[in-house]
């Protein structure tokens, strides 16, 4: 998978390291988003209203955002919980012990809104306030790895 998606392999985390992996993931993700927001703000002409970012701009916020995690299947609910995905977001609490075919696709969306800090928004140097919000969702995808596959 790493070769197919041109990803680096990071083997620093093992079984029961869900908290450490989640911390590192969010630290990296937050830094990427903060840098992208700073870059976007530095190019905004404050006399104009901020336009919504394009899909390409949003993808670049998190370097296209593809992270593949290969994890012990019985501990995937622990990892998804550490990443903030619970029942409301579509992540089951338990994983069937014989299920080796399901991929948990977690999606993290960050949206930014810009608000002017006072009513005189037409002033050139009007201070602004950024509001950010994360939305996490999950999709369970059966890939059928075990069906009709035999190892030789």
Q: For 49-82, how does the pLDDT look when each residue is reduced to its tens digit (9 = 90+)?
A: 445 555 555 444 455 567 888 888 889 999 999 9
With respect to residue 37, please indicate whether it lies within any of the assigned structural domains.
yes
With respect to residue 1, please indicate whether it lies within any of the assigned structural domains.
no
pLDDT tens-digit map of 68-120: 888 888 899 999 999 999 989 989 888 887 888 888 899 888 777 766 655 54
SS3 135: strand
User: Which residues, in sequence order, are bridge partners of residue 110?
Assistant: 134
With respect to residue 69, please indicate whether it lies within any of the assigned structural domains.
yes
DSSP state of 123: S
With respect to residue 149, please indicate whether it lies within any of the assigned structural domains.
no
Helices of type H across the chain: 18-42, 55-60, 76-82
With respect to residue 85, please indicate whether it lies within any of the assigned structural domains.
yes
With respect to residue 9, please indicate whether it lies within any of the assigned structural domains.
no
Q: Containing domain of residue 22, as a range?
A: 18-142
With respect to residue 41, please indicate whether it lies within any of the assigned structural domains.
yes
Q: In angstroms, what CA-CA distances link 49 with 19, 35, 41, 45, 52?
A: 40, 21, 12, 8, 10
Helices of type H across 6-100: 18-42, 55-60, 76-82
More confident residue, 22 or 59: 22
96 touches 35 (CB < 8 A): no
Range among 20-24, 32-36, 142-146 with highest mean pLDDT value: 20-24
For residues 6-44, b (16+ Cβ closer than 10 Å) or e, as one string?
eeeeeeebeeebbeebbeebeeebeebbeebbeebeeee
Number of domains in the chain: 1
With respect to residue 13, please indicate whether it lies within any of the assigned structural domains.
no
């Amino acid at each position: 998978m790493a070769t197919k998606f041109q990803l680096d392999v990071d083997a620093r985390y093992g079984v029961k390291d869900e908290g450490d992996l989640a911390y590192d993931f969010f630290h990296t993700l937050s830094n990427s988003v903060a840098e992208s927001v700073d870059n976007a703000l530095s190019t905004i002409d404050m006399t104009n209203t901020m336009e919504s970012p394009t899909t390409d701009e949003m993808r670049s916020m998190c370097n296209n955002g593809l992270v593949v995690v290969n994890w012990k299947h019985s501990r995937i609910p622990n990892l998804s919980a550490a990443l903030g995905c619970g029942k409301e977001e579509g992540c089951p609490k338990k994983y069937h012990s014989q299920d080796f075919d399901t991929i948990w696709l977690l999606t993290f969306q960050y949206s930014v809104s810009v608000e002017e800090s006072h009513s005189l928004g037409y002033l050139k140097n009007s201070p602004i306030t950024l509001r950010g919000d994360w939305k996490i969702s999950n999709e369970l995808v059966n890939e059928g790895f075990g069906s009709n596959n035999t190892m030789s």
